[in-house]
A and B are shown apart, each in its own frame.
Chain A
């Protein structure tokens, strides 16, 4: 093995090592002590490995769920869940994803440094999700590795700069200033929500009821929510299969037991994926922020969407519930026209729907909140259907990307690069 092979097959061919290297360089640039350097590098590599382990667990439960839904309803149910689809994409395209992220961060910093778009995108997990989407779409167009890396990196950089830019007019109306921007890839959804809400007039703000508070409190713990939701989904779908049918599928066990075990198995997989992503990003994001602080004076940080929730917890909760309702309506529409159905995800509707609800409420009051949230939920559930064929090279998957920008960017990139070929 010669030196170049050693680098391409050995060092960079393994995503865990590649990501470790990125963290290592980031920590080195920050002049961290030796111990911290080793610590950060190893934790990044460990985080990546956790991601793969979690993907296997969540993926196995997801394919069981898919089999149950398919048998029960004669449809294919696809769950929009960013963490799962990203982890599944990592299994085959980890190398591309890591390189797209690296190029994307560098180009994004350059955009902030040299243009008037001064947003620094700090939501690391969304950066990772977008890089995974781009790798999936670009690899399917049979591009060579270096083109995937450059094209993917540039598109990632622009989406990280443009998402905060297009949402800022609405975010400013919520927060009253430019202290922070929205660094969350549901910007198309937020703009739609703000636009629809602007047809309505704002009224006085009602106080939050006790029941709503309790409900909100329940939805804070994701692992509980995912377990309950998956359990209900399994059980409900299982009821449409004969008892003999489910026993045949799950070696004689009752559907109640199967649902409970599979739900905890899926949530457990998600938990491990989250832990992996957290470990990975807790080294890379601070490094990125440290570099941005030094080279981009006057930068506006673009943050994760829950920062909006405090501006109106009431609207966030109603936004989530109505967005989810809109999502169910979209599912019913899909059922009428096609075999593949998007099952509305609780987590994307909670986050994207919640933040969209706050924007809608601050701009269009109660009526704005109601109309806008329903339309928002309908749209973000329908959008991923256009993405599914584009991710075909990732294999036969039962998960897809959840938030609106992933679908829009995926389709745009696909169209753009097919045109070039």
Chain B
């Protein structure tokens, strides 16, 4: 199963909101994935396929592994999130399967 990590500073509010939007979109597309939200200190402890978060939080990430990261300019707009997900390599492969 695909693993998606949504991260924000404390891993409490913002990341949970984005996660709810991601989950709603996955449901819309009929895709199944493991989605978790967390703080940015812990991001590297997950073996994720995709990492999502606001742009300025993602900029500060120092990842050990090579994994696709989506930095969002707008963290509230679901349509924008949708277009960003559809444009990502991970989702392109995934939807082609």
Contacts and interface: CB of A to CB of B under 8 A. Distances in A.
A and B: bona fide binding partners: yes
Interface of A: 122-126, 179-180, 183, 213, 216-218, 220-224, 271, 274, 277-278, 281-282, 285-286, 289, 301, 303-304, 306-307, 309-310, 313, 351
Contact of B76 (A180, A217, A313): A180
Nearest to A179: B76
A124 B16 CA distance: 9
Given A218-B60, A289-B20, A310-B74, A271 B13 contact: no
A87 to B, nearest CB: 13
A216 B56 contact: yes
B40 interface: yes
B75 interface: yes
Contact of B57 (A213, A220, A271): A220
Contacts of A307: 14, 75-76
A217 B16 contact: no
Contacts of A213: 59
Contacts of B10: 125, 222, 274
**Chain B contact residues, majority secondary structure:** mixed
A220 B9 contact: yes
B51 interface: no
Most chain B CB neighbours (cut-off 10 Å) among A218, A271, A289, A309: A309
Given A278-B11, A306-B54, A224 B17 contact: no
6 contacts: A124-B13, A274-B10, A285-B20, A304-B17, A309-B54, A310-B54
A220 B16 contact: no
Nearest to A316: B56
B20 to A, nearest CB: 6
Contact of A125 (B13, B56, B73, B75): B13
Given A223-B41, A303-B76, A310-B55, A281 B60 contact: no
Contacts of B17: 122, 301, 303-304
B64 to A, nearest CB: 15
Given A180-B76, A271-B41, 4 more contacts: A124-B12, A274-B10, A282-B16, A286-B20
A198 B77 CA distance: 28
B60 A222 contact: no
Interface in B45-63: 54-57, 59-60
Contacts of B54: 306, 309-310
